Structures are given as C-alpha cells and as structure tokens.
C-alpha cells in the first residue's frame, strides 16, 4: 500500500517525537504487544464477533482485554479469539459480578485464557432503595477495598490475579479523603493490584506520574487513551473532555511511560477509545501505530 506524502511525513514526525522523548525521559518504551480493551468495539462485536476480532488483529493488536460479550459462551468467544490470532489476558467485571457470581466469572475468564480479573466499578455496603443511587460514601469505598481483599485471595488460590480499574469517581473527595488513596491504603499488595487508566486520571485532574511515584509496584496494567481536555481538568468537568485517537489530544505519554518503566512492573497496556469521529478501523490503526512507536 502506498503512503501519501502527508501520511509519510506524519508517521515520520511521530517516530522522531517518540525517539526524542524516550531519550529525554529515559526508557519510555513498553516492550510488549499493543493491547486493546474490547469495550472499544462493543457495538461492532455485537453485530459480528468474528469479523470484528479479525479487524482488531489487522489493525495491529495481539492482546485484548474483555469487557462483556453479551450472551456468547466462553467457548464461542475463545474460538473467535483463536481464529483472529488474539490473546485475551484480562477481563473487566462489575462489582456485583465478582461479589455474587465469582465462580462463574473465574470459569468464564479461565476458558478465555485470562490471567487477570479486573474490577471496573466500586461496590456499596448498602444497596439502598429504589430510585437514583446516592453518591458513594467513604464507607462504600472502604467496603469495596475490604471485599477486594477477600476476592483477591480467592482468585490467587485459583491461579488468577485481581486488579482495580479507575474512572473519575475515585478522585472525587469523600469526607475530605480521596477514595483512590483509600483503596491503595486498604487493599493488600499481595492480593490486589491496580490498572491505572491514565486517560480518566488526567480527566479528573490527576497526574499518573505522581501516583506511580508514590505507589511503587502497585500498578500491573495501564489503560492508554487520549482526550482533548478542558482547562483545569477535574471530575466535575468530565463531560467536557472529548475522547480522540492517541497522539491527537492533550495527554503527554512520554513521562507516563517513562515512570511506568522506572517504578512499576507493567504487564499489559490496553488502548481504549470509547467513541469515534472517524471510521473505527482507521482509528484503531492510528492508536496501534502510536503504541508501536513507543515499543519499537
């Protein structure tokens, strides 16, 4: 396939930037295959699971992280993954799934080949009555951490690992305490690790570099995404952040990758893009190429 002059110059520019920033920040390269969080292509998978996974591989991905497959069986999904040449290493779950249906989740994810089960939502000590749920309390966050320790112990016994995935709620003060810091304090490092969503952290006004510096070896995976951020990002400005392809937004990954290489033992890094303003296959190719430049 021939490249247009514009595309060639753009790719050469990105490669040069990656080389310069890697040199400036030390080793900023993840020597691992680019991963994709499959929530990115949830609508496409619902329409045609096999064709979507083949397209994910064609875009340059080799590892994926699951986030629900509708009513498809684990055997069906595993067959589709194998045919597409993809390896599922991690799977996201809601709190209730792991609290109430842990054995089923373990069986499903093991058949996929996953090594990590990731809690992607916090729990509540009391579910309350009907209507809109009240804001999460500090006690809810502490309950979540306590339950994660218990779930983490069960997963460890099953040969799996538990990680927690953040959004922005973790960075909204609860009784003058930052919930994410409370999770870090209560969760036992040998039972619970963390998957740092760098994009949502930045949307919430947080610096992923600082979190990694202050919590060495607590993060096992990263979510890599880009946003056009508003001025002075904060959790309450979440709706003002616009998702975009990697390298086209506001987030500088050079110091993030460098710190991850320095103070963490990152096992996997997953690109996640919740929506598209261009054809999705083109967007995935741009995202995968961005990560490949860092690991080349």
Q: How far apart, in whole angstroms, are the C-alpha atoms of residue 161 and residue 116?
A: 5
List average pLDDT for each run of 10 residues in the chain, which is 296 residues long. 40 42 45 88 96 97 91 95 98 96 97 98 81 85 98 98 98 97 98 98 98 98 97 96 97 94 94 96 96 78
Q: Is 174 helix (H, G, I), strand (E, B) or coil?
A: strand
CA atoms within 13 A on the CB side of 74: 13
Range of the domain at 152: 5-295
Tokens, residue 109? 């994810």
- pLDDT recorded at residue 259: 94
**Cα–Cα–Cα angle for 79, 80, 84, nearest 5°?**
115
Q: The CATH number of the domain where 114 resides is what? A: 3.20.20.150
* Torsion over CA: 234, 211, 242, 255 (sign): positive
Distances (CA, A) of 73 to 37, 68, 81, 101: 19, 11, 12, 16
pTM: 0.89
- The answer to whether residues 250 and 227 touch, using CB atoms and an 8 Å cutoff, is yes
- How far apart are alpha carbons 27 and 263 in whole angstroms? 12
Residue-averaged pLDDT of the chain: 90
Domain count, the chain: 1
């Amino acid at each position: 396939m021939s490249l247009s002059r514009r595309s060639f110059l753009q790719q050469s520019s990105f490669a040069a930037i990656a080389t310069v920033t890697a040199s400036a920040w030390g080793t900023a390269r993840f020597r691992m295959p680019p991963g994709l969080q499959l929530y990115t292509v949830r609508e496409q998978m619902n329409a045609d699971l096999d064709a979507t996974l083949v397209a994910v591989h064609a875009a340059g991905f080799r590892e994926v992280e699951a986030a629900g497959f509708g009513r498809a069986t684990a055997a069906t999904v595993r067959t589709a993954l194998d045919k597409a040449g993809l390896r599922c290493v991690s799977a996201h779950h809601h709190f209730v799934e792991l609290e109430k249906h842990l054995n089923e989740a373990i069986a499903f994810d093991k058949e996929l080949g996953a090594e990590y089960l990731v809690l992607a939502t916090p729990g509540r000590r009391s579910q309350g009555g009907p209507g809109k749920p009240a804001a999460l309390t500090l006690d809810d966050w502490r309950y979540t951490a306590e339950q994660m320790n218990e779930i983490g112990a069960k997963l460890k016994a099953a040969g799996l690992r538990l990680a927690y995935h953040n959004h922005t709620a973790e960075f909204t003060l609860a009784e003058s305490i930052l919930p994410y810091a409370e999770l870090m304090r209560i969760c036992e490092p040998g039972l619970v690790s963390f998957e740092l969503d760098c994009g949502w952290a930045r949307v919430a006004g947080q610096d992923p570099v600082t979190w990694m510096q202050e919590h060495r070896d607590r993060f096992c995976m990263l979510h890599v995404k880009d946003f056009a951020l508003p001025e002075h990002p904060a959790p309450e400005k979440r709706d003002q952040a616009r998702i975009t392809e990697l390298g086209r937004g506001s987030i500088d990954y050079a110091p993030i990758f460098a710190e991850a290489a320095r103070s963490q033992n990152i096992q996997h890094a997953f690109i996640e893009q919740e929506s598209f303003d261009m054809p999705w296959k083109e967007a995935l190719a741009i995202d995968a190429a961005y990560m490949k430049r860092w690991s080349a």
